[in-house]
């Protein structure tokens, strides 16, 4: 299984969903399954994720740039849980019984903020409005434009893919006719951060040794921050500067007093 069936065998019963069910019903099943996630599931799912990632074409920097403005808006309007990103990703695809289609592996593994298997899932479920809204809200993002160009190229020799893209375009026309406001912070509610690529959704996870969720980790002795190479060091410097400013202001007030 391509999206980590092994974790699913340990943490859930064989419950599946599809877009014929109501969004509330689907969300309830996913929520219940996510509650069963354990630390070892996340580690195992991360390993499966990287096995899958190796099947894609090598990353080219031209295709992995991302807009800081859009990323900021996405994170400002959505709550994410990077500690269990991999396990929840496996649960999501297992519950839908979705496998990354073979044609996707001829693409880059990610496009800016977005994970390529997630884009393949969105396209396969584009008749569901929450997924149509993803393309509607992001179709003018630079990386999504590149993704669509690659999809059009593949669709030239793939009738099924061409039909899916036609449905997506028809959905865009429907949403435009309804004058739906564009929101480039939008992420399909069901996918949460699963739609995001690992580098964005779980950037603190090292490639060689995926970390367990923080609440399950052994407390570690804090290491002193490296000079000029950590957020803590920068914060310490800012605090020192602020203290100096406060002292100078106080001295200035004292000299002005009679």
53 shares its domain with 115: yes
Contact 111, 147 (CB under 8 A): yes
**Is position 140 within any domain?**
no
Confidence at residue 255, expressed as pLDDT on a 0 to 100 scale: 53
Range from 77-86, 148-157, 225-234 carrying the lowest mean pLDDT:
225-234
Domain residue limits at 244? 225-258
Give me the helices (H) in 104-230, please: 116-124, 129-138, 142-155, 159-177, 198-201
Question: Mean pLDDT, to the nearest integer, of 128-144?
Answer: 94
Regarding whether 237 and 119 lie in a shared domain, the answer is no
In terms of domains, do 12 and 73 share one? yes
Tell me, yes or no, whether 41 and 90 share the same domain.
Answer: yes
Residue 27: predicted pLDDT: 81
Residue 150 counted as domain residue: no
Same domain, 10 and 120: yes
Q: How far apart are CA 188 and CA 94, in angstroms?
A: 18
**Greatest distance between any 2 Cα atoms in the chain:** 87
| pLDDT at residue 219, as a whole number | 42
Average pLDDT, the chain: 78
Q: Write the pLDDT tens digit of every residue in 186-209.
A: 999 988 889 999 988 887 644 443
**148: nearest Cα among 128, 130, 169:** 169
Position 31 in a domain: yes
- As given in the structure block, the two tokens for residue 10 are 């340990």
Domain total in the chain: 2
Domain assignment of residue 252, yes or no: yes
User: Is residue 206 situated within a structural domain?
Assistant: yes
Q: What is the mean pLDDT of residues 166-170?
A: 97
Residues 233 and 120 reside in one and the same domain:
no
Tell me: do 52 and 88 sit in the same domain.
Answer: yes
CA-based nearest residue to 131, from 76, 191, 77: 191
Q: What is the pTM of this model?
A: 0.68
Q: Are 83 and 210 contained in the same domain?
A: yes
Q: Are residues 24 and 86 in the same domain?
A: yes
Confidence band for 26, pLDDT divided at 50, 70 and 90: confident
Q: Which residue has the higher pLDDT, 242 or 63?
A: 242
Give the pLDDT score at 242: 66
In a domain, 178, yes or no: no
Looking at the predicted structure, is the pLDDT value of residue 6 above 80? no
Q: Are residues 122 and 233 in the same domain?
A: no
Would residue 143 count as lying in a domain? no
The count of C-alpha atoms lying within 13 angstroms of the C-alpha of 17, restricted to the half-sphere facing its C-beta, is 20
What 3-state DSSP class applies to 21? coil
Mean of pLDDT values over 97-115: 92
pLDDT of residue 21: 81
Tell me, yes or no, whether 171 lies in a domain: no
- The model's pLDDT over 76-99, given as tens digits with 9 standing for 90+, comes to 888 888 888 998 899 899 999 999
**Sign, Cα dihedral of 30, 32, 38, 41:** negative
Do residues 49 and 70 both lie within one domain? yes
Same domain? For 14 and 38 the reply is yes
């Amino acid at each position: 299984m391509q999206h980590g069936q092994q974790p699913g065998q340990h943490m859930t019963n064989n419950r599946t969903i599809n877009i014929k069910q109501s969004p509330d019903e689907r969300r309830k099943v996913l929520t219940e399954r996510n509650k069963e996630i354990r630390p070892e599931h996340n580690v195992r799912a991360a390993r499966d994720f990287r096995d899958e990632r190796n099947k894609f074409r090598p990353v080219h920097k031209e295709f992995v740039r991302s807009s800081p403005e859009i990323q900021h808006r996405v994170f400002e309007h959505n709550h994410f849980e990077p500690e269990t990103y991999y396990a929840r990703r496996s649960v999501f695809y297992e519950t839908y019984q979705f496998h990354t289609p073979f044609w996707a592996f001829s693409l880059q593994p990610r496009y800016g903020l977005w994970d390529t298997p997630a884009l393949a899932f969105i396209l396969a479920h584009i008749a569901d409005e929450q997924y149509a809204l993803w393309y509607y809200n992001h179709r003018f993002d630079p990386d999504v434009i590149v993704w669509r160009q690659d999809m059009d190229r593949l669709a030239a020799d793939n009738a099924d893919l061409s039909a899916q893209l036609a449905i997506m375009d028809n959905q865009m026309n429907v949403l435009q006719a309804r004058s739906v406001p564009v929101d480039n912070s939008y992420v399909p509610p069901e996918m949460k951060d699963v739609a995001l690529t690992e580098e964005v959704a779980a950037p603190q996870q090292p490639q060689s040794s995926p970390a367990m969720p923080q609440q399950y980790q052994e407390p570690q002795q804090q290491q002193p921050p490296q000079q000029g190479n950590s957020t803590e060091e920068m914060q310490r410097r800012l605090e020192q500067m602020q203290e100096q400013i406060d002292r100078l202001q106080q001295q200035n007030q004292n000299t002005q007093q009679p």
